[in-house]
Amino acid sequence: MKHAIITCSDEIFGDFLVDHWLQSLKENVNLKNIDVIVIDYGLTKKQVKKLKDNNVLVYKCIRDGFPNSIKFRDISNFLSSRRYDQIMTCDGGDIIFQTDISGLFEKNKNTFRTVCETFNPFLWRVVKKGFNHEDVKKIIETLKKKKLTNVGVLIGPYTKFKKLCDECSGMMKSMTFGPDTFAVNYILYRDGFKVLDQTYNFITTNTSYKFYIKDGVFYLKNGKKIKIVHNAGGISFVRPIKNFGYGPDNNKLKPVIFFAVKWFIKLKQKKKTVCFGNK
């Protein structure tokens, strides 16, 4: 049975999706037994054509909230008419693939797999506004003093994944930025998951590994390519990599932003605020 890699995008991130996300995926990942699906939240006709020309399945949906929150509802709807073995969701506007990660689909197949962050900011406001009172209590109690997973890359078996999508979309009262992280983490910590190595969702400012960039490629200190690089950040200003993308002319470190964020994280770590729920 086939596997699926699912992401979502709108017109703003559509060019990156086609020219960098998809290109890096095609050139580095063995897609022989994998369908690639893009949830379309307002892509241009040109972007859609490029995706379809590359054998990507495009699923048009209504954008009535923040894409990373509403995508769980729409992924569930898509999966209702298609059956797969394993499902992977990942961000489409700030991720590139650098090695073949297809082996993930064949390991620990009965549970979810994802990366835990070394530091989690406090987003109590997101939790309290994003869920009803009873769910807020459950989420806080379950995630208290836990390291949150980064849901930018998440993989799991079909049945469990679809159930997670349904529960997430049902829990979130506000389909804005942020609630999806806590809904997914609540389910993962309640039901169990396998922690992946940081290189499967490598956030440069939120990692314990040293790295360097050469000719646009991200390497660990030992010279090995990092598997999946995630230029995370709520707004473009705080993203640590300039001209992020796939190819030799991309990826320049923004030293001021990079070291400022790293300093902030170290400061919080010294105060023992690295986990959700610590104050």
Give burial (CB, 10 Å; 0-12/13-18/19+) of 13.
buried
* Short-list 70, 68, 34, 40, CA closest to 52: 40
CATH 3.90.550.10 intervals, the chain = 3-199
Helices (DSSP H) in the chain: which residue ranges? 11-16, 23-28, 45-53, 67-79, 124-130, 133-143, 158-171, 179-191, 255-270
Helix 67-79 to helix 179-191 angle, to the nearest 10 degrees? 50
Q: What is the pLDDT of residue 279?
A: 46
CA distance 187 to 37: 24
The model's pTM is 0.93
In terms of pLDDT, which residue wins out, 128 or 266? Answer: 128
Using DSSP's 3-state secondary structure scheme, residue 155 falls into strand
Question: Tens digits of per-residue pLDDT, 53-95?
Answer: 999 999 999 999 999 999 999 999 999 999 999 999 999 999 9
Cβ-Cβ contacts under 8 Å for 88 (sequence gap 6 or more): 3, 4, 5, 6, 104, 105, 153, 154, 155
Rg (CA), the chain: 18
CA distance 36 to 26: 10
Q: Does the domain made of 3-199 have the CATH classification 3.10.20.30?
A: no
Q: What is the pLDDT of residue 49?
A: 98
Question: Residue range 7-13: average pLDDT?
Answer: 97
Question: Residue range 267-272: average pLDDT?
Answer: 60
Question: Tens digits of per-residue pLDDT, 84-112?
Answer: 999 999 999 999 999 999 999 999 999 99
201 has pLDDT over 60: yes
